[in-house]
């Protein structure tokens, strides 16, 4: 199938300084897209803009946890690009699970970044795309949202909420010709997971970005990336709770 099927020539990326989002920006720049990039880290954003050159129409260094600024950022994307074919929502943080269990403020911060900041963008994005009657919204989620496990259940709960929100949004926008993609990521070797012990199932960011773009091109609503997490999560999701509690490689910290 033609991988440029969606004609994504005007792309806005929120959380563009994360490793996967930066690789997506590189990929779409190579495909000739015009980019509007928003990221938290000003230095990383500046370096990415310099690398991509004229492909970047505009960029902004913004903390997306500031949900009050979300609508203005979405408006800015349409102003800069004229219209938007594809919006990618990529911000996220794992947080410290033990800290979120001891301190509500820590739990709230994880939930804000992984759920509330995304919803703050999705509300104006959905309204814009609904009015236009075309386009794609792709949101990076996680397989952690499919089962509560002791090592990351605060993060997983935020991603589970995000998944349900995206399910509803996908159905709302379906009749308007707008596609919503929930990208269910397995663990990826990036700076966000630098402190995690790596195992053979960890994916590489450039390959993950390529798989995400293929999934969007092919209109897949909720792909697993990499693909092999689909059968793995089918098993994990359907394990009885008593069995999960007895399997230390799943129930351990």
Catalytic residues: 155
Instruction: Please name the residue ranges forming H helices in 31-177.
Output: 42-52, 70-81, 97-102, 104-111, 117-132, 153-174
DSSP 217: H
Alpha-carbon distance of 38 to 18, in angstroms, equals 10
Residues 6+ apart with CB under 8 A from 14: 38, 64, 73, 87, 88, 89, 90, 91, 121
Alpha-carbon distance of 91 to 64, in angstroms, equals 8
Answer yes or no: are the C-beta atoms of 92 and 20 closer than 8 Å.
no
65's tokens: 């946890």
Q: Which residues pair with 189 in a beta bridge?
A: 204
Residues in the chain: 253
> What 3-state class would DSSP assign to 149?
coil
Assess whether the previous peptide bond of 100 is cis (omega < 30° from 0).
no
Answer yes or no: are the C-beta atoms of 94 and 145 closer than 8 Å.
no
57's tokens: 């129409």
Alpha-carbon distance of 220 to 199, in angstroms, equals 27
Nearest Cα neighbor of 157 from 121, 111, 125, 118 is 111
């Amino acid at each position: 199938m033609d991988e440029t099927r969606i004609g994504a020539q005007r792309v806005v990326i929120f959380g563009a300084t994360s490793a996967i989002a930066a690789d997506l920006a590189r990929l779409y720049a190579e495909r000739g897209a015009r980019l509007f990039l928003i990221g938290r880290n000003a230095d990383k954003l500046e370096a990415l803009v310099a690398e991509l050159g004229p492909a970047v129409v505009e960029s902004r260094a913004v903390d997306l946890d500031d949900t009050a600024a979300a609508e203005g950022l979405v408006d800015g994307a349409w102003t800069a690009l004229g219209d938007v074919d594809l919006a990618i929502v990529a911000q996220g943080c794992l947080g410290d699970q033990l800290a979120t269990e001891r301190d509500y403020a820590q739990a709230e911060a994880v939930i804000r970044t992984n759920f509330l900041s995304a919803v703050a963008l999705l509300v104006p994005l959905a309204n814009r795309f609904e009015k236009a009657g075309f386009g794609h919204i792709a949101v990076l989620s996680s397989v952690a949202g499919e089962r509560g496990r002791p090592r990351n259940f605060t993060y997983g709960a935020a991603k589970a909420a995000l998944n349900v929100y995206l399910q509803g949004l996908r159905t709302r926008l379906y009749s308007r010709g707008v596609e919503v993609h929930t990208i269910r990521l397995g663990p990826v070797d990036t700076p966000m997971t630098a402190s995690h012990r790596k195992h053979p199932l960890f994916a590489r960011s450039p390959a993950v970005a390529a798989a995400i773009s293929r999934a969007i091109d092919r209109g897949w609503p909720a792909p697993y990336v990499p693909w092999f997490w689909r059968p793995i999560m089918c098993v994990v999701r359907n394990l009885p709770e008593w069995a999960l509690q007895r399997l230390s490689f799943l129930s351990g910290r």
